[in-house]
Amino acid sequence: MGAVSRRNVTDHRQSGRRATIRDVAALAGVSHQTVSRVINGSSKVTESTRERVLGAIRELSYVPSPMARGLISNRTRSLGMVSAEISDHSFAEAVAGAEAETRKRGYYLIVASVEDESRDDERGYLRLMLARRVEGLIIARPSVPLSSEQLLPAVAAGVPLVAIGSSELPGFTVVDVDNVDGGRQATAFLVAQGHRRIATITGPHEWPSAQARLEGYRKALRAGRIAADRSLVETSPDWGLEAGQAAMKRLLERATPFTALFAQSDLIALGAMRELRARGLRVPDDVSVVGYDDIPVAEFVHPALTTVRQPIRGVGAVAARIVLDRLASEDARDGDSGPQRHLLPAELVVRETVASPRGT
Amino acid sequence: MGAVSRRNVTDHRQSGRRATIRDVAALAGVSHQTVSRVINGSSKVTESTRERVLGAIRELSYVPSPMARGLISNRTRSLGMVSAEISDHSFAEAVAGAEAETRKRGYYLIVASVEDESRDDERGYLRLMLARRVEGLIIARPSVPLSSEQLLPAVAAGVPLVAIGSSELPGFTVVDVDNVDGGRQATAFLVAQGHRRIATITGPHEWPSAQARLEGYRKALRAGRIAADRSLVETSPDWGLEAGQAAMKRLLERATPFTALFAQSDLIALGAMRELRARGLRVPDDVSVVGYDDIPVAEFVHPALTTVRQPIRGVGAVAARIVLDRLASEDARDGDSGPQRHLLPAELVVRETVASPRGT
DNA sequence: TTGTAGGCGTTATCAG
DNA sequence: CTGATAACGCCTACAA
């Protein structure tokens, strides 16, 4: 018997084929079923046989085939994530957060990074993921308005789906940073410093976060009993520096005086500051500025940018957690907890670009 | 028969179970084998039955089970990538490049983003990936010296492996940007402007790219018949702005005069420029500066940074392509092409931080 | 051109 | 406590 076992080991090695559960069984001198029990921690195995099996597993460096397991269990232990370009720092953070959480729970994450131009092919990516039999989905494409119709394939497959940064999505859970409160904090801080004429440059209107931050801005003004002035609100066609500079130019040309600016992204803030500098206006002496995002360079520009930090990594992690929890509860058959909206708090980071208005 | 087929459809739908190849066969009134032939494009199927099968597939939204397929073909159509923190822009680019290439070829990519602190657990991540039966591996952790021993699990499993940005790795293929030439280009440009006393701040010495760029710097000096001066070489403990500023401070305190600086990262360059500014020295009038990386803000700082752009996305794509090609050629049994070193060209981006030295 | 048998590596079920 | 046997969904090989 011992000799036979040895031969099996040799067979398996020479053939270059991976060891299977039967190879292990043969080497340990038990049935493949017993090996399965050992692997899956079934208690009903004698300690001595258990050790013999474990030894065989080690000797053959046996690793169970996820395909064979998945075939019978109908589970892949994988999540799919469709994200906007991950070369954008925010989305990279979201993916990193989701990936870490997913891995921690013994699942793995399949990521598709989608260029922003390719709109409307959400369904294609979903189908790709579903064809891989992912058990859950995370969608992080806030600039693309998702319709329930687009997400139909996922629903049909009964796969839990969570969106990141999208606007309210009937029937689906959305995770996001609390942009309303972020905008409110930024603006309220300016109000608290004594500013009453506060301009703002919003991000592109198709982004829900831009709307939310604007809402927060208005909220803070109301709280400070400051009348909103439409001519102090300008929209930037994208989140970048040059667009921010152009927006600031338009704002200044309106000749409505202001002493502070809330820019909805750090790059917009940087562009605005550049325009101010070009006109001989100083920050924060002439105009105070608050940005949004806390990008890596924000603390290094001069003067260092006061801004709002977003826990994007946390958003990714929470999204993954929700999907995985739903998967787990499905096992326990305790029903759906239903769609929700999860908001993580933003945090104001005070640095050097805000001062009290002149003459106070 | 038609009635029977209908009932099968209903059965499948009511049970909530995914349609299998047999469901399709039943609905189309053929054997499951014929369905298989249609799916795999076997030509030996009558056009009429083909269409009937296709119709049934559509009606049931049938998608073949990758698990069942993988079980028999022993292929997962997946690649694994172990990357340094993807919140670092460079690695996000590498992942994006690899992901796009992988997806284009019908494979998918499983990514693990690893914090830089967790050293030496390379094997753990490899094993995780291999347990998933990835068919190939990409490793992008240039700051961690990889040993052949660490990569043993992959070799043992016969899985092709390509490293990104690592130093020479006996027996393995490495893809990288041509850092030597990048450093050479940066320095040569300064030489061409008439500089002869050129300082440099390197990245952390454990990064192979730092060594390579320094080599390029020396090469350019030699080509310009300029004696290398050790007191003009400073090392930064990390790639960041503050470390760059500190390094510049040390450089200036040595009192060895120089008219130009080659900084091995844009952030180091920005830190150095800040230190210069703090001492009343102007860029490029008093000191010319060339950075490295072309980070997004490089073109927006003032003065706009002259730097070296790296095709990192391309590096990721090439790495994926090599792995996939090897996989394909394995099928064709045309043997290993053996380990190689692939270098992608860096590109100098001229902006505003370089001028001729004063008095020329 | 189409259908039938067998097996991929695992787990579930039911005897022993 | 352990082992035989039958799935899981698909594909390859062979038969009709």
The predicted-structure confidence for A304-343, as pLDDT tens digits, reads as follows 999 999 999 999 999 999 999 999 886 544 445 667 899 9
C1’ C2 / CA B105, Å: 33
Q: How much is the average pLDDT of A53-81? A: 92
Q: Which nucleotide is nearest to A33 (CA to C1')?
A: D3
Q: Do B71 and A66 touch (CB under 8 A)?
A: no
The pLDDT confidence band at residue B301, using thresholds 50, 70 and 90, is confident
Confidence at residue B155, expressed as pLDDT on a 0 to 100 scale: 85
Helix (H) or strand (E) run with residue A137 in it = strand A136-140
- Is A294's Cβ below 8 Å from some Cβ in B? no
Digit-coded pLDDT (tens) for A262-298: 999 999 999 999 999 999 999 999 999 999 999 988 9
Distances (CA, A) of A168 to A90, A101, B270: 20, 24, 41
Please tell me which residue, B54 or B333, carries the higher pLDDT value.
B54
- Structure confidence by residue, pLDDT tens digits, A212-245: 999 999 999 999 999 999 999 999 999 999 999 9
Partnered with residue B61 across adjacent β-strands are: none
Q: Which nucleotide is nearest to B37 (CA to C1')?
A: D11
Pairing of strands B347-349, B307-309: antiparallel
CB of residue A211 closer than 7 A to nucleic acid strand C? no
User: Does A108 sit within 8 Å of B96, measured CB to CB?
Assistant: no
- Any A CB within 8 A of B271 CB: yes
Taking the C1' atom of D9, which residue's CA lies nearest?
B68
pTM (2 d.p.): 0.89
Percent of chain B residues past pLDDT 70, beyond the cut: 91
Lowest mean pLDDT among A51-55, A191-195, A345-349, B186-190: A51-55
Structure tokens at A50: 């258990």
CA of B22 to C1' of D10 (A): 10
The mean of the pLDDT values for chain A is 89
Q: Is B294 an 8 Å CB contact of chain A?
A: no
**Cβ–Cβ below 8 Å for A16 and B65:** no
- A281 secondary structure, DSSP code: -
Of the listed ranges A23-37, B32-46, B63-77, the one predicted with least confidence? B32-46
Q: Percentage of chain A surpassing pLDDT 70?
A: 91
Angle formed at CA A120 by CA A85 and CA A263, multiple of 5 degrees: 50
CA of A24 to C1' of D1 (A): 19
Contacts with A, B 131-150, CB within 8 Å: 131-133
Contact call for B89 and A85, based on CB within 8 A: no
CB contact under 8 A, A92 and B103: no
> Does the beta carbon of B52 lie under 8 angstroms from any beta carbon of chain A?
no
Is A95–B112 a contact, with Cβ atoms under 8 angstroms apart?
A: no
| B35 CA – C3 C1', rounded, Å | 12
Residues of B numbered 341-360 whose beta carbons fall under 8 angstroms of chain A's beta carbons: which are they? Answer: none
In single-letter form, the type of residue at position A24 comes to V
Is A110 close to B110, i.e. CB distance below 8 A? Answer: yes
Give the pairing of strands B260-263 and B288-290.
parallel
Of B87, B113, B313, the CB nearest to A89: B87
According to DSSP, the residues that pair with B138 across neighbouring strands are B81, B162
Query: Which residue in this structure is represented by tokens 């009429």?
Result: B48
CA–C1' nearest nucleotide, residue B65: D9
CA of A71 to C1' of D9 (A): 7
The residue whose two tokens read 């454990």 is B206
Strand C reaches within 7 A of the B225 CB: no
Check CB contact of B9 with chain A, cutoff 8 Å.
no
What residue has token string 């003009």? B232
Backbone phi and psi for residue B81, each to the nearest 5 degrees, phi listed first: -135, 120
Whether the CA torsion B96, B102, B104, B108 is positive or negative: it is negative
- The two three-digit tokens of residue B216, written as one number: 């390029």
Q: Is the minimum distance from the CB of B73 to strand C below 7 Å?
A: no
Q: Is the CB of A40 under 7 A from strand C?
A: yes
Map residue A132 onto helix, strand or coil. Answer: coil
The Cα B86–Cα B293 span in angstroms is: 16
The pLDDT-based confidence of B30 (bands split at 50, 70, 90) is confident
> Minimal CA–CA distance to B92: which of A207, A83, A238, A137?
A83
Kindly report, residue by residue over A104-153, the tens digit of the pLDDT. Answer: 999 999 999 998 766 667 788 888 999 999 999 999 999 888 888 888 88
